[in-house]
Structure 1
């Protein structure tokens, strides 16, 4: 085991994948000569050469179009989109080509070996072009997987699993956690299952569900709730496409209550899908309405970021309202 922050874990996972398979290549804006804007790809070009880690032009549509071609011809590309907010110029390539190539060709061709890495979310005072959480846009797309780690250990295991999965994966990295803390990460090769949630804390009174950076918020809120005598069960979804409905529903049957939290705006956020599914499968077990604590339906603000964020205090207040309904 080694102490790593989330960035170091991602870098270590990329090195592990590139050492294991010579078909793995990493590219994106500025990833080569100095390791990208966050330094997640530091030293990869020096270690593996310019043929396997290289800079691209500043064109997200071109990056993913190029990656689709590589994946369909047998390479294992890991394409970086510098910020999640800048993935939208590549939206057509991802939704209409990456996700559908296997289907439209009747299985003759596939972009299944493609992994798209991108930082997402707020908490760094980045304003409305560097703070968005666009996961729900892509969760509407059959043929994709969407994976979001919460800590360094999860980041390495889930990224290696994503690179080796036989489906295109959008791997979203919570950038405010990049250097926030360190954790124990195996230096050896290992993977974690995609599409399987993890219960990080057992409880009996209410189920709390989130992913990525919002897991830290749930942990703090559950500690406050514990002081009020409320025993919360906390679940990290880890993958939102596919998402582990069985684990969530089993928990809700036990607790009778559900709260879902994410940074993205409330309307059309992925919490809506979870709530609808749980209402369908667990209606007779629910003791209160399903709660959502999310971002606001407004462009991500710069001056009022703290007011926008669904922090632990907002979650704590929602927990109390739900439990005492």
Structure 2
């Protein structure tokens, strides 16, 4: 029992250490953003008040923020999971799109099923479509060595155009630029159906699913043999192969799991929010936002939850800032500053230098005593 408690404390400590630096960097970024807002002739207090009221001002606004957060958590997980295996998954966007289309097909094609079964089939279809789409990239990487960044970017545009073809043909609502609507039995339960406080919000049970998936991803990466092998390949493929780990197999597995998360994001958004898929004139942006979420969350599933919520606040609170006369570009600048500080390890470097200076002073003090 004591060993398990010690192991739990050690895991918790390591997790907190992983997400501590990004959290501090976020705080520093908001301070820098406040200085920037002031330099533009606006009040930082007014700007940030509008930001947080717009995203968290009441339960309906919180609900809409959590709707965005749900998608960002899953696309962030998609990028973070692949990164643990040393892969940069730029294709979460395409995997998200394929998940959305597959969910529409499953939600529309199957009729007269019990709700729990139909919803499950719809979400699984989305996840599997995303997993297969990402698995192609992983297979190409493992078998012929082609770079996953180039392949996944190309797969994004293939997914967008393939989606448009399906929406305007086999899935088309006649005379419309969007697909059929999924059946009522394929729709996720919304909080508004039971709670009056959320009646103007589209918040659905997908947020709970996203949180459970994030914790499952954390467990898989840190508490299973498969997760150990994936992380080992990410640290050093050559040493992993020497130790008997099948590197190629784990590359494909990591990409498939990444695609499952992004595809599930598309399926949940379809089954919980839109109920259909529109003819796309460009990429949705959710997959690319997932890159930012994963980076700020330090590619840790728990950090991704916090980061996804932060970016949900920034996206949902931005319009309220505009109402207060704050340029909409300010939110984008704040996001950019956050990424800059996190990516440059600004806080980590400062802490490291502080520790080094402290050690040097202690050594000098000891020398003076002698």
In the superposition, the TM-score normalised over structure 1's length comes to 0.28
Structure with the larger helix share: 2
Structure with the larger strand share: 1
In the superposition, the TM-score normalised over structure 2's length comes to 0.25
Q: Highest relative contact order (Cα 8 Å, sep 6+), 1 or 2?
A: 2
